[in-house]
Chains A and B, each alone.
Chain A
Amino acid sequence: MAMEVTQVLLNAQSIDGTVRKHAEESLKQFQEQNLPSFLLSLSGELANDDKPVDSRKLAGLILKNALDAKEQHRKFELVQRWLSLDANVKTQIKTCLLNTLTSTVADARSTSSQVIAKVAGIELPQKQWPELIVSLLSNVHQLPAHVKQATLETLGYLCEEVSPDVVEQDHVNKILTAVVQGMNASEMNNDVRLAATRALYNALSFAQANFSNDMERDYIMRVVCEATQSAELKIRQAAFECLVSISSTYYEKLAPYMQDIYSITAKAVREDEEPVALQAIEFWSSICDEEIDILEEYGSDFTGNSDIPCFYFIKQALPALVPLLLEILLKQEEDQDQEEGAWNIAMAGGTCLGLVARTVGDDIVPLVIPFIEENIAKPDWRQREAATYAFGSILEGPSPDKLLHIVNVALSFMLSALTKDPNNHVKDTTAWTLGRIFEFLHGSTIGTPIITQANCQQIITVLLQSMKDTPNVAEKACGALYFLAQGYEDVGPSSPLTPFFQEIVQSLLTVTHREDAGESRLRTAAYETLNEVVRSSTDETAPMVLQLVPVIMMELHKTLEGQKLSSDEREKQGELQGLLCGCLQVIIQKLGSSEPTKYVFMQYADQIMGLFLRVFACRSATVHEEAMLAIGALAYAAGLDFAKYMPDFYKYLEMGLQNFEEYQVCAVTVGVVGDICRALEEKILPYCDGIMTQLLKDLSSNQLHRSVKPPIFSCFGDIALAIGENFEKYLMYAMPMLQSAADLSAHTANVDDDMTEYTNSLRNGILEAYSGIFQGFKNSPKTQLLIPYAPHILQFLDSMYMEKDMDELVMKTAIGLLGDLADTLGSNAGSLIQQSLTSKDFLNECLSSKDHMIKESAEWARLAINKAISV
């Protein structure tokens, strides 16, 4: 049955394009004609030691891709396809795969390991292939080292692929025993030891029970710590990776080991090679992450499942940890700031220092200040940079009171360094630090302002000057200005920035035109800062924001004039259009929020809309999204006048709703449909058939990201509220969908926080849909059409009330819906509500809620219900 595939597989890797293409075609044909035979041939190829390594590797890769895909729905199809294959065929393939593990060819073994894990990922949850783990474990005791190595690697992949709950504890114990034995210092073969260490990384999530047992945990920890001392770099690196993973998975079990781990990591940071040192630093960063999370949960007095206490490891390690991190700040590389994606020990150390500051707050300040004072004015740029970086790192975490004094002292020094320091790296970090100062210590919540009338002028002059510096420094200067403006967002009718507004805007526009604005994200930073300057503008500067409209429109117009573009140029054009549409969106939202400016702005509406439509015609995902967002803002500002744009705009709206792949685009478009509903009200009616069809398709699609579904339900409500009883014809489609979604969301397993959050957002969408529909039908003769749905809705409310896991928003929307139901159905709802299990309790609970939004909705609901009952 198997077929000779060697040559085709080799051809498929040929440098000759035609040969390659032909081979790919044949493989595809073969697969389509006879899948079982195709898969058998591939597994036979992979297992055959007489075949060339290249054809074996590709055979394995194609097998792997036949079992798994990134896309959820495709993956599902492949799983179903494998499960429905003939059992004999599957057994033959699996035998081939297991045999390959004993091959002397390393690549073949490794490829087979991965394929085995994929098959296990499908079959183990189905309780199939029960002998797999047993047979792998028997391999571990076989003599040849390469078989041991391949088997441990396979176990590693298997643990990555399979969820812990499908492997019985007895097998888990055996896997861990095999892995930890392989890691042991007594294992003389480094390949085996490395494979075992990497396997442990994946197996850690299976070890919950073992980590609860003191003896077993001690043993695992000892072996991991010993592996960090191996002579082999890759083993040390893999062992530290295990420590990093343990720090987050088993934080609460770490206390007895922290002293040793500190010694090991400190030694690695100071003496070991960079890949190992970076992992050692990451261990501490990861501990910070854990403690920040725990302390945040304390802060919001969330007691739900935060049974993990904070052990304050960082606080205890502080006196030793901070000097270590400060020391490595001095190990900068030349030009690291100009390199995209650079990552080195100094950067990791600085990042960790910032996390430590967030974890311990005030305590870090006295430990870092002497370092700053000693190094900030040294002739060696490394010392000046390290001192500045240390300063910037500790600005988030400690209380403003603790920092204000030193910040006030440092501010003028920083401003002078930004203009005068000869070193680019120092200026970059100085500008970044200024940005951090403005981000965390400037704004209406800070008692004593650090920016005063006395220094405002100087600060702005220096920042605008720095925007002419090299791209990396200019980008940081833009960032600093961003936070400077943000601090004035709620300043009131008069802003200290007003006298400089024109100059700031002009400088930012100049930056966007720099030849080198494409480097270091500079152009993006300049436009984003412009956005923030617009957001924080006041009435005083509204005329200047208005003047900006034709300027940005002209820029957008210029991007549309290009001739034939290369794909690279096209991508750049798309990016720029995104920035410009984003900027227009911010301006529209700003000017649209007050009547007088909106009135003046609307004179540009036709032209702007024309530009947006031309941008759509260029077709690029990010532009699509930004232009869509801007159109939403325009619809809100234009109100009924937006109707005239609908004939031209509609097709793009539909395209946006069809964009499953880029779900952000789809989500944004759904939001814009809501904007348009509120702007046009019943004038949206002619477009509703199309929109509803698309939204219903979206809901039934399993390709669309689930996060878009709640907003789609809310959007049903928007449409119903806009078109009122005309929603009648969609009831027969929308209502069953709402009902089944409601059933699904009523009882949640409450697996994790993400799921609970999603369930609540889904409920909120469903409730908003119902509210919109009921309010839309109010006072119409067709309200009786809604009566049949009322019992189910009341049951939905009952079940949510009884689950006791609604968040505040859902509670508010839910009690509002109860009011809407009573309001629209009147006496028809009255008796149903009286009979319902929990309506009365729910109402009373909401009436006495401390949340004023809930109380407000409840007051209204009570009134509507009283009326419905009394009639």
Chain B
Amino acid sequence: MAPHDLRRPFKRPAISDQQRRRELSLQRQSQNRRDAQQQARCLASSVLSLQSQYPDPVPELEIEPESQPQQEAGPLTKDLDIRQASKLRGPEVRKWFASQLMLPEWMIDVPDRLSHDWYVFARPAGKRCMVVSSNGTTVSRERNGSILHHFPSALPSGARTKDPSGSAQSYCILDCIFHELDQTYYVIDMVCWRGYSLYDCTAEFRFFWLNSKLAETGACDAPSHYHKFRFSTVPVYDCDQRGLYSAYIESVPYAKDGLLFYNKHAHYQTGNTPLALVWKDEKCSQYVIDTDSKGQVLSQQQIIGAKPELRQLVVLELQEDGKLSTSDDPPVIFGCLDGEFIQKSGLQSGSLLKFAIGNGGLSFVDGKLEKSDLNYLGKSNRARMFADSYSKVIFQYMVRHTPLKFDDLLASVSPSDDEENKPCDVEMVD
């Protein structure tokens, strides 16, 4: 039995470069394997992501889908085709793009379990847009589909520079608000990240992902040659009393335009959704009362007998049978034009028409719209893509008559407020 050798490595690094080469190869291979697997699953989710076909995870808030005109007209896939679509031109693509954003309804009553199931944050004032980075360039498109900027960015595949992930599949889609004053894209939601679709992930996960991933790319850094605009996240709070208060009162680097509420369990659902809500008052927005596209309060129309600041305009879509409907799915009917008038005015079904709400106002029975006093003003601006939503009309109506106040919101999330104890419906009578 000989003595045992006790030599230890002397002046040598613990890992050889050969070992390192092996390990780096293995890392690359397993990353590539994950990418391939992910891609296969994305192909699956493209079929799965027509959420409207399947029960929503939060059934009590679900809207029964009756028809799916957008899905039938537009491409079936979302994340895969959005990259194609970003290269297209013309009115069709504008329409297509316009339908890709998740649009909040206006908050006309306080949802149950606000403090448990919802986030709140101060919405930046600015242009809502979809930012797509892919193949070494970044394109932002406004809600109406028109291109806002075409620029290099530090987002994955957002510029023609070294991309550490190295994958050509690593495109991203972000839901942003472009804030003119500091030339910053405020990212309010993440739709796709490095080729991975987040459409079918909960808001809780999307926000978590957004906060953990965006900064690490350098997209939040100051602008540079390869990174023309700064991106930024917004502070998101749990919608308890403190969070609500913080979102409402605390100063942020951007001008606020109301508060946005997101249901934690909601997936990214394109179009209007009751799982995201917007609310505003004068303190947290300059634009509480309806504004036109230039941000001017609409006041020039003379509606006899109404106080000028309370005049309310609505845009509704003319249906084939003469009914006037909102942009909701299913649409809500606000009234009807008679055939003779339609003919005389040369209006066609599908037209967007502008009305003022007259002295008769809106009447409700059991919380449902029963009657509305509408005065026809004319055709809507051609830039408009959609009629107003029901919640917008009602919110604007309430602002003018019985506004939902911040204190009401606070009260609904007060700790004393038992879960079972649902907030009362706001009375909506003229």
A interface list, Cβ under 8 A from B: 153, 156-157, 198-199, 201-202, 237-238, 241, 244, 275, 278-279, 282, 285, 337, 341-343, 347-348, 350-351, 428-429, 432, 439, 476, 479, 482, 492-493, 528, 531-532, 538-539, 542, 578, 582, 585-586, 589, 592-596, 626, 629, 632-633, 636, 664, 668, 671, 674-675, 678, 714, 717-718, 721, 768, 771-772, 775-776, 778, 816, 819-820, 823, 852, 855-856, 859-860, 863-864, 866-867, 870
CA distance A532 to B251 in the complex (A): 47
- Interface residue from A582, A594, A675, A870 paired with B162 (Cβ < 8 Å): A594
CA distance A341 to B351 in the complex (A): 89
- B197 to chain A: closest residue by CB: A860
- The smallest beta-carbon distance between B67 and chain A, in angstroms, is 20
- The interface bits of chain B over 149-192 (1 if a CB of A lies within 8 angstroms of the residue's CB, else 0) are 00000000000111110101000000000000000000000000
Is B218 interfacial (CB-CB < 8 Å)?
A: yes
- The smallest beta-carbon distance between A815 and chain B, in angstroms, is 12
Contact B205 A439, beta carbon cutoff 8 Å: no
What chain A residues lie within 8 Å of B37 (beta carbons)?
717, 721, 768, 771-772, 775, 816
Contact A439 B33, beta carbon cutoff 8 Å: no
- 21 inter-chain pairs at a CB distance below 8 angstroms, sorted by A residue, are A156-B1, A199-B1, A202-B1, A237-B3, A337-B11, A343-B7, A350-B10, A428-B11, A578-B18, A589-B28, A593-B164, A633-B25, A668-B25, A717-B33, A721-B36, A721-B37, A721-B40, A768-B37, A856-B196, A859-B200, A864-B44
- Interface residue from A668, A675, A778 paired with B40 (Cβ < 8 Å): A778
Contact A860 B200, beta carbon cutoff 8 Å: yes
- A286 to chain B: closest residue by CB: B6
Is B285 interfacial (CB-CB < 8 Å)?
A: no
What chain B residues lie within 8 Å of A771 (beta carbons)?
37
- B11 to chain A: closest residue by CB: A432
What chain B residues lie within 8 Å of A157 (beta carbons)?
1
What chain A residues lie within 8 Å of B208 (beta carbons)?
852
**A279-B6, A820-B41 are known contacts. Are A492 and B13 too (CB-CB below 8 A)?**
no
Which residues of B, 1-56, contact A by the 8 Å Cβ criterion? Answer: 1, 3-4, 6-8, 10-11, 13, 16-18, 21-22, 24-26, 28-29, 32-33, 36-37, 40-41, 43-45, 48, 54-55
**A432-B11, A775-B37, A816-B37 are known contacts. Are A859 and B202 too (CB-CB below 8 A)?**
yes
- A343 to chain B: closest residue by CB: B7
Contact A351 B218, beta carbon cutoff 8 Å: no
- B25 to chain A: closest residue by CB: A629
- The smallest beta-carbon distance between A577 and chain B, in angstroms, is 13
What chain A residues lie within 8 Å of B8 (beta carbons)?
285, 348, 351
Contact A493 B162, beta carbon cutoff 8 Å: yes
- Interface residue from A244, A279, A717, A823 paired with B44 (Cβ < 8 Å): A823
What chain B residues lie within 8 Å of A586 (beta carbons)?
21
Contact B136 A636, beta carbon cutoff 8 Å: no
Is B209 interfacial (CB-CB < 8 Å)?
A: yes
- The smallest beta-carbon distance between A245 and chain B, in angstroms, is 9
Is B293 interfacial (CB-CB < 8 Å)?
A: no
What chain B residues lie within 8 Å of A282 (beta carbons)?
6
- B206 to chain A: closest residue by CB: A859
What chain A residues lie within 8 Å of B164 (beta carbons)?
593
What chain B residues lie within 8 Å of A678 (beta carbons)?
32-33, 36
CA distance A585 to B208 in the complex (A): 37
Contact A582 B18, beta carbon cutoff 8 Å: yes
CA distance A595 to B169 in the complex (A): 11
- B166 to chain A: closest residue by CB: A593
What chain A residues lie within 8 Å of B202 (beta carbons)?
859
CA distance A823 to B47 in the complex (A): 10
Contact B40 A775, beta carbon cutoff 8 Å: yes
Q: How many residues of B contact A (CB 8 A)?
A: 51
CA distance A866 to B209 in the complex (A): 23
What chain B residues lie within 8 Å of A866 (beta carbons)?
54-55, 57
CA distance A501 to B18 in the complex (A): 23
What chain A residues lie within 8 Å of B376 (beta carbons)?
none
List 9 A-B pairs, minimum CB-CB distance, nearest first.
A593-B166, A528-B17, A775-B40, A198-B1, A343-B7, A282-B6, A859-B201, A863-B200, A594-B162
Contact B32 A594, beta carbon cutoff 8 Å: no
What chain B residues lie within 8 Å of A542 (beta carbons)?
162
CA distance A626 to B11 in the complex (A): 25
- B21 to chain A: closest residue by CB: A582
B interface list, Cβ under 8 A from A: 1, 3-4, 6-8, 10-11, 13, 16-18, 21-22, 24-26, 28-29, 32-33, 36-37, 40-41, 43-45, 48, 54-55, 57, 135-136, 160-164, 166, 168, 196, 200-202, 205, 208-209, 212, 218, 226
What chain B residues lie within 8 Å of A856 (beta carbons)?
196, 201, 205, 209
CA distance A476 to B18 in the complex (A): 17
What chain B residues lie within 8 Å of A528 (beta carbons)?
16-17
**A539-B162, A870-B54 are known contacts. Are A671 and B29 too (CB-CB below 8 A)?**
yes
**A675-B29, A852-B209 are known contacts. Are A863 and B48 too (CB-CB below 8 A)?**
yes
CA distance A618 to B168 in the complex (A): 36
CA distance A863 to B265 in the complex (A): 12
Contact B29 A674, beta carbon cutoff 8 Å: yes
CA distance A856 to B209 in the complex (A): 9
**A156-B1, A852-B212, A866-B54 are known contacts. Are A585 and B21 too (CB-CB below 8 A)?**
yes
What chain A residues lie within 8 Å of B226 (beta carbons)?
493
What chain A residues lie within 8 Å of B166 (beta carbons)?
592-594
- The smallest beta-carbon distance between B18 and chain A, in angstroms, is 7
- The smallest beta-carbon distance between A161 and chain B, in angstroms, is 12
Contact A493 B161, beta carbon cutoff 8 Å: yes
CA distance A866 to B49 in the complex (A): 12
What chain B residues lie within 8 Å of A629 (beta carbons)?
21-22, 25
Contact B10 A351, beta carbon cutoff 8 Å: yes
- A578 to chain B: closest residue by CB: B18
Contact A668 B22, beta carbon cutoff 8 Å: yes
Contact B10 A636, beta carbon cutoff 8 Å: no
Other 9 A-B pairs with CB < 8 A, given A778-B44, A823-B44: A282-B6, A493-B162, A531-B17, A589-B24, A593-B163, A629-B21, A636-B28, A855-B205, A856-B209
Contact B25 A864, beta carbon cutoff 8 Å: no
What chain B residues lie within 8 Å of A595 (beta carbons)?
135-136, 160, 168
CA distance A35 to B202 in the complex (A): 72
What chain A residues lie within 8 Å of B33 (beta carbons)?
674, 678, 714, 717-718, 768
Contact A593 B21, beta carbon cutoff 8 Å: no
Contact B163 A863, beta carbon cutoff 8 Å: no
- The smallest beta-carbon distance between B108 and chain A, in angstroms, is 30
CA distance A237 to B5 in the complex (A): 12
- Interface residue from A202, A348, A819 paired with B41 (Cβ < 8 Å): A819
CA distance A432 to B9 in the complex (A): 13
What chain A residues lie within 8 Å of B21 (beta carbons)?
531, 582, 585-586, 626, 629
CA distance A198 to B200 in the complex (A): 67
CA distance A432 to B12 in the complex (A): 9
- A671 to chain B: closest residue by CB: B29
What chain B residues lie within 8 Å of A237 (beta carbons)?
3
What chain B residues lie within 8 Å of A776 (beta carbons)?
40
- B205 to chain A: closest residue by CB: A859
What chain B residues lie within 8 Å of A351 (beta carbons)?
8, 10
